[in-house]
Amino acid sequence: MESFEPSATLGERLSGAARVLVLTGAGVSAESGLATFRGPGGLWEGLDPTRLATREAFERDPVTVWRFYAWRRSQAAAASPNAAHRAIAALERSRPAVDVVTQNVDGLLERAGCRRVILLHGTLWRLRCTAEGTEAEDQRGELGPLPPRCACGAILRPAVVWFGEPLPAGAYGEAEAAARHADLVLVVGTSGLVVPAALLPEIALAGGAYVVEVNPERTALSPRVQERLAGPAGEILPLLVEAAGFPREPAP
Ligand code: BV8
């Protein structure tokens, strides 16, 4: 079933489900003005991800990779959470057993008020020492000369997961368990092309979950879901959360 409006029963499903999984991708931040990866104007348009988002690229040319991530940090810092992020935070606060999982690294779900976000691909806002492996939060607006360096003198890298790198075991394990046990899954703003994140909806389907895709475009997942809400998440998610009887915005 495909429509802009949630089906008549979806609100009840959302309020009554024992466990809800919300899986987000770059599309949930599109209405905050952040570029997605694929599609018109996407980050990878004209750029080769293997030249910017791999460990090999970083080791070969840390300054160029850092220019890309310093720009991503500045974009994310200048952006504000949109109505989709806030609706997800409102949902998480309004009822128990909501797992929020994201492929994004921008921090906007946390800034919208989500209390617990499972970060599959890390975050722009932590840096990791390439010698010691230690990580620390770093919210600085300006990083100074690139590449930034650890007190030990080694180069710091963004604590994000690059192509060819394994996802954080804890995060993926939690996300996989959430998918296995979910009764209702909202898949919001992802093309579903990057694995293993893209496997999560299939795991949920195998567990009998009711899976809803929120995306203006059809994706590889579209034929597999029970319901497709075809439109921008910033318009659809507040309607959906309201249909479940919850406030559209997280309590201040
Ligand atoms: C791993 C973090 C193993 C940094 C990212 C060949 C075939 C299949 C798989 C592979 C292959 N070769 C290699 C692989 C594996 C590879 C992979 O999946 N490649 C893909 C490209 C084929 N995966 C990996 O390498 C992963 N690691 O497998 O490790 C391993 C195990 C043990 C030991 C060693 C190794 C690591 C993957 C993580 C890579 N890091 N980013 C950064 O952000 O810079 S990936 C990047 O893509 C982002 O994280 C992003 O979130 C993610 C997925 O993209 P989407 O979020 O879906 O974004 P996209 O633009 O594609 O789509 C946006 C959607 O939003 C669109 O559908 C659009 O219609 C929609 N939209 C737009 N506006 C709105 C909207 N929706 C709603 N509302 C709107 N307003």
**pLDDT computed for residue 44 by the predictor:** 78
Distances 123 to 17, 29, 64, 70 between C-alpha atoms, Å: 30, 14, 19, 12
| Rounded distance between C-alpha atoms, residue 31 and residue 188, angstroms | 13
Catalytic pick from 85, 121, 128, 228? 121
Cα of 130 vs centre of ligand 1, distance in Å, is 23
- Strands across the sheet with 98-102, in order? 2-3, 227-229, 210-214, 184-188, 20-24, 98-102, 117-119
Over 90: is that where the pLDDT of 19 sits?
yes
DSSP line for 214-240: E-SS--TTGGG-SEEE-S-HHHHHHHH
Query: Which residues, listed in sequence order, are joined to residue 158 by a DSSP beta bridge?
Result: 127
Over 90: is that where the pLDDT of 49 sits?
no
Cα of 164 vs centre of ligand 1, distance in Å, is 11
- Two tokens, residue 229: 């809400």
Give the mean model confidence (pLDDT) for residues 236-241: 97
Over 90: is that where the pLDDT of 24 sits?
yes
Tell me the whole-structure pTM to 2 decimals. 0.97
Phi-psi category of residue 192: left, alpha or beta, with phi > 0 → left and psi -120 to 50 → alpha = left
48 in contact with ligand 1, CB cutoff 6 A: no
Confidence of residue 98 (pLDDT cuts 50, 70, 90): very high
